[in-house]
């Protein structure tokens, strides 16, 4: 296949386009977001669970540090590094890089999820108190934040040994703070071990459902059995994580892998933000149990099901189309040509809105918050934050697609005017 001419277009090594508020964002975000993680965990376990509480609940220093947390975190990352290296599953090639080569990636994330699930069950069977994760949550988050910083420093330093074609186009501005934040090197590897791909879907994402399970076990310790709300939150989020790992190959075509360098933004997102803020609903339910009627549960299950259906079908349709446009499931869809040789779907899911996958994801996000009732805003943090994230992400993707596809993208936007929500946005 001929390489995408746009991707091969020469760019100056010090690309000046800045995202996330440029240097100011690169200074503020690494301070503000780690504090937000710790603040949210603290609020979730305070009796008021109020985001507006003043003064805010602050943890004492002994609530923030526990050497056991460091052992658990490093052990967890090491376990997943070992599972990554196991010769399980197939090996896939990523998209073509600027030098015309393709990297190989092991597709064994789902195996890692299953094996770590079995190991956890064994540990629980042997009497390991998984519910203790509730007490360990803050020290674990502190360690994950510290590891994210140290790891990002390592990535930044080692990026200076990488050849220029291995640097991310947007991460080589020459401003150390910004480049550290946004990521200089595109695919940092130790031998064949791909550090970005490893972090993207494994320790943090699987860690998220383990934390959820820990919260469920804590509820069992406190009240004898898990609540319906806790079971729903655990099940929905496990489905989401299992789906991501089952379809792991699809991550190879995402913005994170194809476009973004590996720096603090992704490292912190993968290792600290996802596991510790996405599990807030489960942590909240430990201290703030909610009664949920069968009818309420049925409505929430239906909402999650609809969201999941839209999310999965639209993502699969685009992946199938990108892999093999002549496949019978996508061959009859209407498309428009672009100057790059690639075509854009204008019917099917991608003819409904320009990001149907985001629509499905947001419906699921709402379904994860609803089991926590309406008395507090905190469990809705995820859906609010995620809406902002996806609107911003859609805007970034839109700019990249306009740069890639030019007039064809404008034609697509005219044919499919709504971005995420039909007739609204
Ligand atoms: P997408 O999977 O939405 O991919 C966007 C790319 O798709 C574009 O750059 C373009 O790339 C291609 N594309 C866009 N429109 C069309 C079209 N009409 N026809 C064919 N190809 C098209 O990107 P994301 O990585 O943002 O999202 C992947 C999934 O991950 C989503 O479901 C999202 O909700 C989810 N997600 C979840 C997060 C979380 O924290 N839970 C965070 C971020 C994402 P090209 O043309 O080059 O192929």
The residue among 291, 306, 328 that closes a domain is: 291
Domain assignment present for residue 163? The answer is yes
Residue 74: the pLDDT is: 98
Q: What is the largest CA-CA distance in the chain?
A: 63
Nearest residue (by CA) to ligand 1, atom 28, is: 254
Domain identity same for 311 and 253: no
Average pLDDT over residues 415-425: 90
Residue 60: the pLDDT is: 82
Ligand 1 atom, smallest distance to 416 CA: 18
Domain assignment present for residue 40? The answer is yes
The rounded percent of the chain whose pLDDT value lies above 90 is 77
Q: Which pLDDT band holds residue 319 (cuts at 50, 70, 90)?
A: confident
Query: Which domain range does residue 81 map to?
Result: 20-53+63-291
Q: Which pLDDT band holds residue 188 (cuts at 50, 70, 90)?
A: very high
Domain assignment present for residue 324? The answer is yes
Domain assignment present for residue 6? The answer is no
Helix or strand (DSSP H, E) at 264 = helix 264-268
What is the tens place of the pLDDT at every residue in 248-301? 998 998 889 988 999 999 999 999 999 999 999 999 999 999 999 999 999 999
Q: Which of 89, 379, 84 is nearest to 237 (CA)?
A: 379
Proportion of the chain in helix, strand, coil states, percent, rounded to 5? 65, 5, 30
Q: Which pLDDT band holds residue 186 (cuts at 50, 70, 90)?
A: very high
- Whether 173 shows a pLDDT value over 50: the answer reads yes
Residue 63: the pLDDT is: 87
C-alpha to C-alpha distance for 225 and 243, rounded to whole angstroms: 27
Contacts of 365 (CB under 8 A, 6+ apart): 307, 382, 383, 386, 387
Domain identity same for 311 and 271: no
C-alpha to C-alpha distance for 85 and 112, rounded to whole angstroms: 10
Mean pLDDT over each residue of the chain, to the nearest integer: 92
CB atoms within 10 A of CB 224: 7
The residue among 275, 291, 307 that closes a domain is: 291
Using most ligand atoms within 8 A of CB, pick from 206, 358, 414 the residue to mutate for ligand 1: 358
Rounded to the nearest angstrom, the distance between the alpha carbon of 254 and the centre of ligand 1 is 6
What is the tens place of the pLDDT at every residue in 46-88? 988 888 888 888 888 888 999 999 999 999 999 999 999 999 9
Domain identity same for 228 and 304: no
Domain identity same for 154 and 241: yes
Residue 14: the pLDDT is: 52
Residue 391: the pLDDT is: 93
Q: What is the pTM of this model?
A: 0.91
Residue 379: the pLDDT is: 95
Domain identity same for 419 and 397: yes
- Whether 7 shows a pLDDT value over 80: the answer reads no
Nearest residue (by CA) to ligand 1, atom 27, is: 254
- Whether 308 shows a pLDDT value over 80: the answer reads yes
Nearest residue (by CA) to ligand 1, atom 39, is: 386
Rounded to the nearest angstrom, the distance between the alpha carbon of 268 and the centre of ligand 1 is 21
Q: Is 339 helix (H, G, I), strand (E, B) or coil?
A: coil
Residue 10: the pLDDT is: 38
- Whether 396 shows a pLDDT value over 90: the answer reads no
Residues framing ligand 1 (Cβ under 6 A):
254-255, 311, 315, 318, 321-322, 342, 344-345, 350, 355, 357-358, 361, 393, 397, 400-401, 412
Q: What is the dihedral of CA 51, 53, 54, 59, to 10 degrees?
A: -80
Domain assignment present for residue 247? The answer is yes
Cα→Cα distances 271→68, 200, 216, 218, 405, Å: 18, 8, 21, 23, 34
Does 62 or 39 have the greater pLDDT score?
Answer: 39
Contacts of 176 (CB under 8 A, 6+ apart): 156
Ligand 1 atom, smallest distance to 253 CA: 48
C-alpha to C-alpha distance for 246 and 236, rounded to whole angstroms: 15
Q: Which residues pair with 110 in a beta bridge?
A: none
Specify the number of domains making up the chain.
2
The residue among 291, 321, 345 that closes a domain is: 291
């Amino acid at each position: 296949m001929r390489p995408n001419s746009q991707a091969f277009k020469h760019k100056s090594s010090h690309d000046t386009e800045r995202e996330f508020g440029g240097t100011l964002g690169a200074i503020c975000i690494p301070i503000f977001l780690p504090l937000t993680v710790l603040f949210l965990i603290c609020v979730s376990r305070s009796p008021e669970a109020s985001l507006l509480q003043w003064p805010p609940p602050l943890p004492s220093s002994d609530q923030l540090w526990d050497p056991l947390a460091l052992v658990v975190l490093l052990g967890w990352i090491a376990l997943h590094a070992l599972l990554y290296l196991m010769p399980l599953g197939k090996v896939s090639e990523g998209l073509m890089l600027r030098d015309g080569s393709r990297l190989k990636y092991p597709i064994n994330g789902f195996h890692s999820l299953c094996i770590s699930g079995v190991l956890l069950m064994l540990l629980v069977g042997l009497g390991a108190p998984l519910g203790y994760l509730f007490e360990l949550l803050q020290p674990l988050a502190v360690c994950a934040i510290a590891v994210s910083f140290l790891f990002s420093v390592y990535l930044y330093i080692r990026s200076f040994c990488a050849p220029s074609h291995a640097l991310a186009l947007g991460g080589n501005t020459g401003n150390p703070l910004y480049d550290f934040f946004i990521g200089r090197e595109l695919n940092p590897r130790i031998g064949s071990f791909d550090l970005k791909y490893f972090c993207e879907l494994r320790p943090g994402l699987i860690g998220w459902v383990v934390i959820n399970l820990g919260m469920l076990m804590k509820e069992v310790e406190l009240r004898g059995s898990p609540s319906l709300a806790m079971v729903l939150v655990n099940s929905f989020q496990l489905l989401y994580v299992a789906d991501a790992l089952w379809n792991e190959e699809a991550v190879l075509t995402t913005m994170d892998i194809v476009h973004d360098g590996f720096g603090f933004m992704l490292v912190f997102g993968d290792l600290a933000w996802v596991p510790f803020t996405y599990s807030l609903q489960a942590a909240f339910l430990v201290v703030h149990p909610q009664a949920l009627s069968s009818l309420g549960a049925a409505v929430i299950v239906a909402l999650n099901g609809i969201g999941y259906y839209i999310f999965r079908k639209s993502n699969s349709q685009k992946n199938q189309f990108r892999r093999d446009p002549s496949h019978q499931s996508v061959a009859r869809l209407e498309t428009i040509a672009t100057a790059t040789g690639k075509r854009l779907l204008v019917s099917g899911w991608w003819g409904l809105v320009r990001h149907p996958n985001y629509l499905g994801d947001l419906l699921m996000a709402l379904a994860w918050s609803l089991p926590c009732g309406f008395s507090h805003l905190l469990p809705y943090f995820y859906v609010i934050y995620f809406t902002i994230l996806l609107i911003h992400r859609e805007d970034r993707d839109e700019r990249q697609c306009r740069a890639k596809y030019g007039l064809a993208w404008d034609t697509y936007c005219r044919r499919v005017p709504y971005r995420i929500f039909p007739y609204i946005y």
